[in-house]
Amino acid sequence: MTRLTIDLSIIIGGPQGGGVESAGQIALKVFTLKGYNIIGTREYHSNIMGAHSYFHIRASSDTPRALRLPVDSLVAIDAESVLTHVNDVAKGSIVVYDVGSINQDASTLAPMEHSLKKRLEKMFSERGARPTVGEAIKLLEERGARTLDLPLKELLRKVSEETGSPLASIARTVNIMGLSAALYALGVEFPYIVKAVEAQFGKRPKILAPNIAAARIAVEYTHEKYGARNPLPDGPHKGRVRMIVTGNEVVAMAKIVGGLTFESFYPITPSSDEAHYIEENKYLDVGDVFRDVGLDKLSIVTLQTEDEIAAIGMALGAALTGARASTTTSGPGFSLMNEFISMAVEAEIPIVISLWMRAGPSTGIATRTGQQDLLHAIFSGHGDTPKIVVASGDHVEAFYDAIKAMNWAEKFQIPVIHLLDKYLASTSVSLDEWDVDPSLVEIDRGKRVYGPVKDYKRYEITEDGVSPIAPLGFNTMIINSLEHDEYGFVSEDPIDREAMVLKRVRKVETISKSIPETEKALLHGDPDAKVTIVSFGSTKQAILSAMEELYREGVKVNFLQVRVLSPFPRDLVSKVLAGAEKIVGVEANATGQLSFLIRAHTGYSVGHVIQKLNARPLYDIDVVYGVKRIIESGVERVVVNSGS
Full DSSP string of 197-246: HHHHH-S-HHHHHHHHHHHHHHHHHHHHHH---PPPPPPTTTT---EEEE
| Single-letter code of the amino acid located at 188 | V
The residue among 620 and 283 whose pLDDT is bigger is 620
Tell me the three state secondary structure of residue 62.
coil
Same domain, 89 and 179: yes
First to last CA, the chain: 40
Mean pLDDT, the chain, integer: 93
Q: What does the buried/exposed string (b/e) look like for 146-168 if buried means 16 or more CB atoms within 10 Å of the residue's CB?
A: ebbbbebeebbebbbeebebeee
pTM: 0.94
Of the three residues 175, 192, 226, the one that is the final residue of a domain is 226
In terms of Cα–Cα distance, which of 372, 333, 420, 336 is closest to 596?
372
532 and 600 part of one domain: yes
**Domain CATH number, residue 65:** 3.40.920.10
Given a cut of 70, whether residue 18 has pLDDT beyond it is yes
Whether 448 maps to a domain, the answer reads no
Q: What average pLDDT score do residues 461-490 get? A: 94
pLDDT, one tens digit per residue, over 408-462 is 999 999 999 999 999 999 999 999 988 998 888 899 999 999 888 999 999 999 9
Question: Do 260 and 220 belong together in one domain?
Answer: no
Distance of CA 628 to the CA centre of its chain: 27
Residue closest to 76 by CA, chosen among 150, 127, 132: 150
327, pLDDT greater than 50: yes
Q: Is residue 634 part of a domain?
A: yes
Instruction: Tell me whether residue 566 is in a domain.
Output: yes
Phi-psi region of 328 (alpha: psi -120 to 50; beta: other; left: phi over 0): beta
CA 241 vs. chain centroid, Å, equals 23
Pick the range with the lowest mean pLDDT from 45-49, 51-55, 129-133, 510-514: 45-49
Non-local (6+) Cβ contacts of 298 within 8 A are: 261, 284, 286, 290
| H runs (alpha helix) in 330-421 | 331-336, 338-346, 374-378, 395-412
Is residue 493 located within the same domain as residue 600?
no
Indicate whether 283 and 135 sit together in one domain: no
The pLDDT score that the predictor gives to residue 340 is 98
CATH code for the domain in which residue 540 is found: 3.40.50.920
Which residues have CB under 8 Å from 96's CB, separation 6+? Answer: 73, 74, 75, 76, 147, 148, 150, 178, 181, 182, 185
Boundary (domain end) residue, out of 486, 515, 544: 515
Do 503 and 523 belong to one domain? no
- The reply to whether 463 and 417 lie within a common domain is no
In a domain, 1, yes or no: no
pLDDT at 435: 93
Q: Within this chain, do residues 292 and 265 fall inside the same structural domain, yes or no?
A: yes
- What does residue 193 show for φ and ψ, rounded to 5 degrees? -65, -45
Mark whether 256 and 133 lie in a shared domain: no
> d(Cα 235, Cα 36) in Å, to the nearest integer?
5
CATH assignment at residue 277: 3.40.50.970
Nearest Cα neighbor of 410 from 503, 492, 328, 344 is: 344
pLDDT for res 296: 52
What would the mean pLDDT of 317-337 be, rounded to a whole number?
Answer: 97
Residue 231 lies in a domain: no
How many domains would you assign to the chain? 4
* pLDDT (average), residues 504-532: 96
348-397 confidence digits (pLDDT tens): 999 999 999 999 999 999 999 999 999 999 999 999 999 999 999 999 99
- pLDDT score for 1: 37
Residue 339 forms part of a structural domain: yes
Q: Residue 285 above 80 pLDDT? A: no
pLDDT for the residue numbered 2: 44
More confident residue, 204 or 294: 204
Confidence of residue 229 (pLDDT cuts 50, 70, 90): confident
Same domain (yes/no): 424, 334:
yes
Residues 432, 458 within the same domain: no
Could you tell me the residue range of the domain that residue 496 belongs to?
Answer: 454-515
In a domain, 74, yes or no: yes
Boundary residue ending a domain (381, 409, 440): 440
pLDDT band at residue 284 using 50, 70 and 90 as cut-offs: low
What pLDDT was estimated at residue 204?
A: 82
Domain-located, residue 235: no
Q: What is the per-residue pLDDT across 127-150, written as a single tens digit (0 to 9) for each?
A: 999 999 999 999 999 999 999 999
Q: Do 505 and 573 belong together in one domain?
A: no
CB burial class (10 A; 0-12, 13-18, 19+) of residue 529?
A: buried
